[in-house]
Structures are given as structure tokens and as C-alpha cells.
Amino acid sequence: MAAIEQTSNQSSQLVKSLNMGSGVDIQALARGLAEAENNTQIKAVTARKESVENSISGYAIASLFLSDIADGFDSLKNASSLIRLSASSSATTEIAASLTGASEPGQYNVTVQQLASSKAIGSSSFAAQDVSLNSGGAFTINLTIGSAASHALTVDQDTPEGIVSTINAAGLGVTASLINRSASGDDWYVVLKGQSGESNTFSVSTDSLNDLGFASDDNILSIAQNAIISVDGLAAISRSNNVFSDVILGLSLDIRAVTENPVRITVEQSFEPLKTALDQLVKNYNQFNVVMDELVASPKKEGDPNTGSLNKDRQLIFTLKRQIRDLFGQTSSTSSGDFNSLRSLGLNFKLDGTAELDESTLNEALISDPAAISMMLSAGTDNMSDFADAKGLAQDASIAVKAMLGSGGSIKLREASAIRKTASYERELEALEIRLEATFRRYITQFAAMESIVEKSKGIGEYLKGQFAAMENMYSR
């Protein structure tokens, strides 16, 4: 009995201390105790997982800004994109100039004495497009172009339209068209036109029963002649058309009118592409350093979550910064003259590590020997193979940066390791969640048993209470 009472008292004390009884939420209590038992470890693993995930973001950011530096060097590796030539004309309505290939800077005085033209002749007048010209029978047109043999063309449809279709179908370089002079539509002409140049003059004869008018001098609308120009006093330069693309090396002249005075054609160099590319490269370098310093800074509770994301991998960032600075100071594999590195173009580093480009030094260098600068940066060529021995400073540096970004580079290796760690932490968290649920179920089982004891204790108490009440009633009578 004493043991029962003791058990009952202990049960009552336990129920009281746990604030349990009928309707108590043992689920919430079990959940709270299970979380208290496991959350410390879960939080620790979660924090480690988040730290590794942040580092993956940090590696991606480092790769992005390294790629910008590689792009900056790529913009300097092709000679044709560094120093560009431009051609201009002092009178574009008379002569237009354009570059067709490599040319030398300079000025040329060009005079146009004569424009090229083609021969054109017209026919006699016809009352309609489809009027019969040979009593319905076929006839022959003999077409002689320059000094070549005559071409005999058979016109099966003996109308102006038939002449036009037959000549155009022959494809001999003479084109035919129908033109109406009268608003009433009864004054039609066949106009034949050859190609420009003296050698392309032509003549026409026919065996038609009617005179078609092609052989009459009165029907000659224009004559074939060559264009004639002079360049810097060198006269009588003649071509069959009005585009001179083989007179000045790398330059095409489109003559448009006879000139009274010489037209000045200027070929000059532009250094802006090179200057722009160098400025952007320096900006990319400075931005890279700023971002790298942010990645290894002390993490902030508020602000950019990537700040300090690689704080635990400072050695990697310091190594990358040193390697990139070394690339900016390296000597070109194709040095030329006085130019062998970016420093010789005015690149300097301030005490705080910031790079800057001295504009006056760069301008002096470009004026003194632009070809040597192009050779130093690009080996003086375009699209150089990555496997060539001497590729120029820009391509050598670009290849080095891309190697850092490659699958065997330190960034990718660390990123892969971080990804594996993240997967491991995820598996560990899954196991902890399973353990948390097991702990919760264990507490539920225990509390359910205690709830049963409490309910039994309440039943015994109610029974004894009833007995004591009956005894009191019995003794009070």
C-alpha cells in the first residue's frame, strides 16, 4: 500500500510539475524537448553548410571578375582592332573614299577629268508594244560588242516586246527596255544600253523588213567611255567604270562628278580603339582587386551577403591577386623596339595597389612607333593560334587567366570541393532530422505512458474520495 501511495504521490508530483492532466498537449511538449536535444547540432551543421554555400558564391564572383580581365586582354590580341585606318574625302559629292585593305597613312590630291559611261541607242518609234515589225515572221538581230565577234539573235516574236525579251535573255551585257514617250501610249521605243567603258561599245544590225532605227547615228543616246582621273599630278589614269580600287593601295575611290579643283583624300590612323581597350583593361584590374578584398573582408551581419564569403580562403585570393599583377607587369614574347610591356605604355601601380595609365606616356608611345606597340601586344597579326610560340603579350596573358579559370585551376577545384561538402552537410542534416523525429516519438511514447498513470491515479483518487465520503455519512448518522 505504501508503495502504491508513493507511486501515486510521485505520479501526482510529476503531473503537477509537467502541468499535465486531462487535455494536456503532450505533442507540443515532446516536440519542444526533442528540438532542445537536437537543435544545437542541427544549427551547427546548418551554419557550416551556409558558410560553404556562401563560398561557392564567392568563387563564382571571383571567376566572373577574372573573366573580365581575360576579356580585356582578348581585346588587345588582334592587330587589326588596335590601330584603325580611316579614309575621308574633302568633297564626297565628287569623290567618295573607302578602305579595302591595308593602306599607308597619307594624303592624295585627286582630279576627275571624265566619268565612265555606257553606250545607249534607241529604236525608231512604234505605235504599240506588240505591233508587228516583220509581217509576223521571225528576224535576226546582230549584236557586236567591242572587238568580239557578232552575236546573231533570233527574234521569234516580231514585236518591240519580242526584241526586248530576246536581247535580255541572251545575257551578253547589253540590256533592253521599253520606254513610252507619249501620254496617249502610242510612241514606244526600244532602248539598248551596254556596260560602261570604251571596250564595251556595241553596234546593232537587223534583217527585219522594216528599219528598226538601231543603226542610225541620230538614235545614239550616249557613248561608251572610260573614267579618267589624275592622282597627285599623275594624269590619264583610266578605268572602264567609276570605281578605282586598284590605284592607291588599300583604297577605293568612287568618282561621282568631274572636278574643277583637286579633291583631297586622307588616310589616317586612329588610336582610339587601343586607348579604349587599355583603359577598360585597367578598370577591370582595379575592379577585380576591390571585389577580391570584399570577398576576404570580415563578414557583415547586414549588407552584401557575399562580403567575407571567402574569408576562410584568403590565401587563394591573395595568390590570384599576385598572379594577375604579375601578368600586368610581364614582358611581351614579341617585344619590339622600346616597347616590351604595359609599363612602357604608361601603366603604373600606386602605393595602394591601384593601377593607372599615364595618358601622356601612352600618346608619346603611339606617335613614336605604333607598329612596335602593335607587335608587342599582338605579334602584329590577327587570330594567332594559342599554340604558337610567340603570340604577343595580350594573348599570353589571356591564356594564363583562362588557365586559372579552367577545370584544373584553383578556383574550380575549390568550388568542386565546396559543392561536395554541401552535399555532405545536406546528408548530415537529413540524418539529424531523422534523429529528431525519433527523439520526438520516444518522448511521445513516454508521455503517453505517464498520461495513463496519471489517469489511473485520478481514478483511484476519485474512488477513495467516494469511499471516504460514504464513511463520513455513515459515522455522522
CATH of the domain at 163: 2.60.40
Return the C-alpha cell found at 444.
511521445
Return the C-alpha cell found at 446.
513516454
Contact 249, 104 (CB under 8 A): yes
Please check whether residues 146 and 238 belong to one and the same domain.
no
Torsion of CA 362, 364, 366, 369, to 10 degrees: -130
Residue 463, in any domain of the structure:
no
Residue 468, in any domain of the structure:
no
**Mean pLDDT in residue range 345-370:** 93
Distance CA 63, CA 437 (A): 41
Please check whether residues 194 and 248 belong to one and the same domain.
no
Residue scoring higher pLDDT (302 or 78) = 78
Please check whether residues 88 and 188 belong to one and the same domain.
no
Rounded alpha-carbon distances, angstroms, from residue 104 to 77, 89, 99, 136, 423: 22, 16, 11, 64, 62
Distance CA 415, CA 206 (A): 86
Please check whether residues 298 and 184 belong to one and the same domain.
no
Torsional sign, CA 177, 181, 185, 189: negative
Residue 239, in any domain of the structure:
yes
Contact 254, 243 (CB under 8 A): yes
**pLDDT tier for residue 476 given thresholds of 50, 70 and 90:** low
Residue scoring higher pLDDT (29 or 354) = 354
Task: Report the amino acid identity of residue 98.
Answer: S
Give per-residue pLDDT as tens, 90-109.
999 999 999 998 888 899 99
At residue 417, the pLDDT reads 82
**pLDDT tier for residue 20 given thresholds of 50, 70 and 90:** very low
Residue 474, in any domain of the structure:
no
Give per-residue pLDDT as tens, 136-157.
999 999 999 998 889 999 999 9
Q: Range of 249's domain?
A: 84-115+228-270
List 196's β-bridge partners, or say none: 118
**pLDDT tier for residue 469 given thresholds of 50, 70 and 90:** low
Tracing cell 498520461 back to the chain, one arrives at 451
Please check whether residues 356 and 290 belong to one and the same domain.
yes
**pLDDT tier for residue 14 given thresholds of 50, 70 and 90:** very low
Residue 465, in any domain of the structure:
no
**Mean pLDDT in residue range 168-188:** 94
Helical axes 314-329 vs 393-405, angle rounded to 10°: 170
Return the C-alpha cell found at 386.
594559342
Distance CA 87, CA 248 (A): 12
Residue 176, in any domain of the structure:
yes
At residue 48, the pLDDT reads 73
Please check whether residues 346 and 411 belong to one and the same domain.
yes
Please check whether residues 321 and 404 belong to one and the same domain.
yes
- What is the phi/psi pair of residue 121, to 5°? -130, 150
Percent of the chain whose pLDDT exceeds 70: 83
At residue 276, the pLDDT reads 94
**Mean pLDDT in residue range 201-217:** 93
Please check whether residues 393 and 417 belong to one and the same domain.
yes
The answer, yes or no, to whether residue 432 has pLDDT greater than 60, is yes
**pLDDT tier for residue 251 given thresholds of 50, 70 and 90:** very high
3-state helix, strand, coil in the chain (%, to 5): 50, 20, 30
At residue 386, the pLDDT reads 85
Chain centroid offset of residue 343 CA: 29
Helix (H, G, I), strand (E, B) or coil at 227: strand
Please check whether residues 16 and 111 belong to one and the same domain.
no
- What is the phi/psi pair of residue 30, to 5°? -65, -40
The mean of the pLDDT values for the chain is 85
Q: Is the pTM of this model over 0.85?
A: no
Percent of the chain whose pLDDT exceeds 90: 59
The answer, yes or no, to whether residue 325 has pLDDT greater than 70, is yes
Please check whether residues 160 and 248 belong to one and the same domain.
no
Residue 3, in any domain of the structure:
no
Distance CA 108, CA 267 (A): 9
**Mean pLDDT in residue range 255-263:** 96
The answer, yes or no, to whether residue 9 has pLDDT greater than 50, is no
Domain boundary (225, 259, 282) is at 225
**Biggest alpha carbon–alpha carbon distance for the chain:** 163
Contact 119, 219 (CB under 8 A): no
Give per-residue pLDDT as tens, 362-418.
999 998 999 899 999 999 898 988 888 888 999 999 999 999 999 888 888 888 887
In total, how many domains does the chain have?
A: 3
Distance CA 166, CA 364 (A): 67
**CB 463: neighbour CB atoms within 10 A?**
10
Torsion of CA 454, 458, 461, 462, to 10 degrees: -170
At residue 453, the pLDDT reads 64
Tracing cell 499535465 back to the chain, one arrives at 20
Please check whether residues 235 and 221 belong to one and the same domain.
no
Residue 2, in any domain of the structure:
no
Please check whether residues 161 and 68 belong to one and the same domain.
no
Kindly give, in sequence order, each residue whose CB lies less than 8 Å from that of residue 342, ignoring residues fewer than 6 positions away.
278, 328, 329, 393
At residue 24, the pLDDT reads 54
Length of the chain: 477
CA angle 384, 387, 390 (to 5 degrees): 65
**Mean pLDDT in residue range 77-92:** 91
At residue 208, the pLDDT reads 92
Contact 386, 399 (CB under 8 A): yes
Say if residue 352 is exposed, middle or buried (CB neighbours under 10 Å; 0-12, 13-18, 19+).
exposed
Give per-residue pLDDT as tens, 260-299.
999 999 999 889 999 999 999 999 999 999 999 998 888 7
